[in-house]
Amino acid sequence: MTKRRATIERKTAETNITLTLDLDGEGRYTIQTGIGFFDHLLTHLAFQGCFDLEIKAEGDLEVDAHHTVEDVGLVLGQALTEALGDRKGISRYGSAILPMDDALILVAVDLSGRPHLSFDLPLGGGKIGPQFEAELAQEFFAAFSRSGITIHLQRLAGENRHHLLEAAFKAAGRALRAAVALDPRQKGLPSTKGSF
């Protein structure tokens, strides 16, 4: 089987990111973005997705965390696209409903090549942790979706913002794990059109 792994580097005036993603890993991770709560969320995505994920990101955190969070989302999406290759044999769709204490989150994904984000996760304003503005969660998923991923993320229950976000990233990992899984019955592209 071809290795489904990619390393992407992105360097701009605002961020310097190196990211390696292995879709057939064991949920191992080394994540350093300089934003503690964001690292915490990304570890859950990797672990629940059974992806091996390495991220080294340096950003203009003296401005705020926005550029780093958005660019990590962009690079992760690019790495996923590259690691998938021609997408032949993948399940394509994945979903998860995940509880965490009071929080209950639904995430559904389609690796269709068409970017779309529906984000129904009311978090209010202000920070969660010392650096992570609540609005950055939507920025991350929007950037991630731009590589051709349809994402629907919805709160079904819950108020605690830490629990809601942790459940969202865990559910995203589980949904992606199902979508990238190889289905032995799927011989070609999982599309009746024969292409994406």
In this structure, what DSSP letter does residue 182 have? B
Q: What is the pLDDT of residue 72?
A: 98
Half-sphere exposure of 177 (CA within 13 A, CB side): 19
Q: What is the pLDDT of residue 154?
A: 98
5-180: CATH topology is Ribosomal Protein S5; domain 2 (3.30.230)
This prediction's pTM: 0.94
β-bridge pairing 15-22 and 5-11: antiparallel
Q: What is the pLDDT of residue 186?
A: 80
- Stated as kind and residue range, the H or E segment containing 75 is helix 66-84
**pLDDT beyond 70 at 190:** no
Place 40 in a pLDDT band, splitting at 50, 70 and 90.
very high
Give domain limits for the chain: 5-180
pLDDT 10s digits, 76-135: 999 999 999 988 999 999 999 999 999 999 999 999 999 999 999 999 989 998 889 999
